[in-house]
Amino acid sequence: MARRPARSCGPACGLAWWLSLSVVCALADCARGVAHTPEVPSSPERGAAPDAEAAERRAEHASGDVQRAATRDAIVRGAALAVRFECTRCHAHAELAGPPDDANCAGCHAQVARGTLDVGADEATQALWRAHVRSYLNVPSLTYLGARLRRSAIAEMVQAPHDVRPHLAETMPRLAVSAAEAADLAAWLAPEAEAPARALPHDAATLAHGRQLVEELGCGTCHERCGEHIPARPLRVAIDAESLTRGIALAPDLAEVPTRLRRDRLVQWLLAPRTIDPETTMPALPRSRAEAEAIAAYLSYAPIVPRAQPAAPVRLPLLGRRVTFAEVEERVFRRSCWHCHSEPDFNEGDGGPGNTGGFGFAGRGLSLASASAVRSGARDDAGLRRSILRSAPGETARLVEVLLARQREEAGDVRALRGMPLGLPALSAEDIQLVESWIAGGAGE
């Protein structure tokens, strides 16, 4: 696997680096050390034939050029792609109809959490579900995303998702999106041209003032900025508990500001966020334009302190006892895998994205709902069914490979093989040990 060179932004970057307006710095995802760029052969941006649009986006990033208005064709293509990739399974968008109830991941989880999912379950069952549901309770809406985010940042996020929100366990799933498709989706979400932004003063005194304001106004209640410690001071405005919980969950890492946010909207976003996104929970904190500009300067130009990067967990040895399928099902398959790899017979033919297809993926035919289904394997890229449990001596079964891949992805090592569960936290080393031990014991009942 070829890693993209590290774009480290530690103290070694130095004063000259950040004074040279190198906004690319923040792209380095704090101290992850590697960019989240999977090897996707079909992707023109990553492959041998970069397309003009991708090159343009990179140039835009590097030079700080403003984005131009998206073409009508790109917007139309992007809207169609949003349907194809089923963005509304998780995200809301005012222009798109919501998905059917049985494909509405975020909607279903929200109803379970509120206790309003009316499917005839008794109170005890609903309480059990409520206790289990942790993911997709807070998902950003797409409706006003493009009003504050740069198109290039959206495209990069769609094609090579990385963890932007430190308090949110789930991340944008790695979909099979080409560079051209990512550009079209971003054009649909952020069609407008960016106005030239007035250069902000960014002398040392301004940056120090901005840093002080970030702390004083309580930005640290919700936000982090890589490895920098921002104390959580009380907010100076009242905010209800539900909005605060949602705000903390969705608050992006402030180190992403230089590359993610539109430069022409940054100060306005800080001053009056609801004028840009009426749905946001972000409160208006600065007391004056001068304060907002100082904060914007600090977020745009101050060097980023690296964050300690957690390593992937150590792989545990096989258990010295027989593991039954019931055990693996209870602890692993039933908790998260089943959602995307289920039995189509019980859902009018829809076995989930990992079985009958969805999220833009072709059906792999993989159900994890029973031992016999797991042993039935999955279709490979050529459409040939293969075992996900078989392994040659010295090799690892495909099922375990994808689980380990997700642990690696969380540690910043992103490869061609998609980690599972897609977009959800990796399984613990103990859970993977259980799966591996079940396979080693013959994968029986």
Partner 1 sequence: MRHAPRSPALAYGRRHLAKRLVSRRRNARWLAGSPLLPSIVGVAMLVCAAVPSAVLACHNIIAITVDELARRVTHAEKRLTEGDTVGAVQVLRFALGISRGGAQGEYELAADPRSPGVARVRARGERLLAVAVVRRDGLIDRPRLRAGWVPDGVRAANFVWAERILGNARRDSPDAPVAIARHAEALARIPGRSAEALTALGELDRRDLVPDAWGYAVLARLADTRHDVAARDRAVRQCTTLGGAHAGAVCPSFESMR
Q: What per-residue string of b and e applies to 3-36 under the rule 16 or more CB within 10 Å gives b?
A: eeeebbbbeebeeeebeebbbbbbbbbbbbbbbb
Least Cβ distance, residue 405 to partner 1 (angstroms) = 21
DSSP assignment of 394-428, as one string?
T---HHHHHHHHHHHHHTT---SSPPSSTTSPPPP
Spatial contact of 234 and 220, defined as CB atoms under 8 Å apart? no
User: Any contact of residue 42 with partner 1 (CB under 8 A)?
Assistant: no
Q: What angle do CA 364, 424, 317 make, to 5 degrees?
A: 85
Q: Please pick, from the candidates 63, 72, 80, 102, the single residue that binds partner 1 as defined by CB under 8 A.
A: 102
Closest CA to 355 of 375, 330, 373, 382: 373
Q: Measuring CA to CA, which residue among 207, 211, 241 is closest to residue 223?
A: 211
Q: Tokens 């014991």 correspond to what residue?
A: 441
CB 403 within 8 A of CB 409: no
* Relative orientation angle of helices 179-189 and 52-63, to the nearest 10 degrees: 60
Per CB under 8 A, contacts with partner 1 among 373-392 are: 373, 375-377, 379, 385-387, 389-390
Q: In sequence order, which residues have a C-beta less than 8 Å from that of residue 191 and are 6 or more positions away?
A: 69, 70, 75, 146
Nearest distance, CB of residue 369 and partner 1, angstroms: 5
Query: Contact letters (x/-) for partner 1, 415-444, by CB under 8 A?
Result: --------------------------xxxx
Tell me, by CB under 8 A, how many residues bind partner 1: 50
Our CB check for partner 1 shows the closer of 309 and 376 to be: 376
- Of 234-242, 278-286, 291-299, 366-374: span binding partner 1 (CB under 8 A): 366-374
Q: Is 338 in the site for partner 1 (CB under 8 A)?
A: yes
Q: What angle do CA 108, 187, 222 make, to 5 degrees?
A: 55
* Residue 100 is a binding residue for partner 1 (CB under 8 A): yes
Q: Can residue 325 be called a binding residue for partner 1 (CB under 8 A)?
A: yes
Closest CA to 37 of 425, 412, 423, 426: 412
Nearer to partner 1, 80 or 119 (CB): 119
Taking residues 44 to 83 in sequence order and writing x for each that binds partner 1 by CB under 8 A, - otherwise, the string is ----------------------------------------
**Residue 10 or residue 441: which is nearer to partner 1 going by CB?**
441
CB of 86 to partner 1, least distance (A): 15
Shorter beta-carbon distance to partner 1: residue 121 or 416: 121
- Considering only 6, 19, 80, 119, the residue that binds partner 1 (CB under 8 A) is 119
Among 257, 369, 424, 439, binds partner 1 (CB under 8 A): 369
Q: Which is nearer to partner 1, 252 or 423 (CB)?
A: 423
Report if residue 14 touches partner 1, rule: CB under 8 A.
no
In this complex, which beta carbon is closest to partner 1, that of residue 259 or of residue 437?
437
Token pair 């027989």 in the structure block, residue: 322
Nearest approach, Cβ of residue 297 and partner 1 (Å): 46
Residue with tokens 């399984």: 427
Give dist(CA 325, CA 334) in Å, integer. Answer: 11
Verify binding: residue 143, partner 1, rule CB under 8 A.
no
| C-alpha–C-alpha distance, residues 442 and 379, integer Å | 21
**Nearest-approach distance from CB 423 to partner 1, in angstroms:** 16
Interaction between residue 342 and partner 1 (CB under 8 A): yes
Residues of this chain that bind partner 1 (CB under 8 A): 100-102, 104, 108, 111, 116-121, 125, 322, 324-325, 334, 338-339, 342-352, 365, 369-373, 375-377, 379, 385-387, 389-390, 441-445
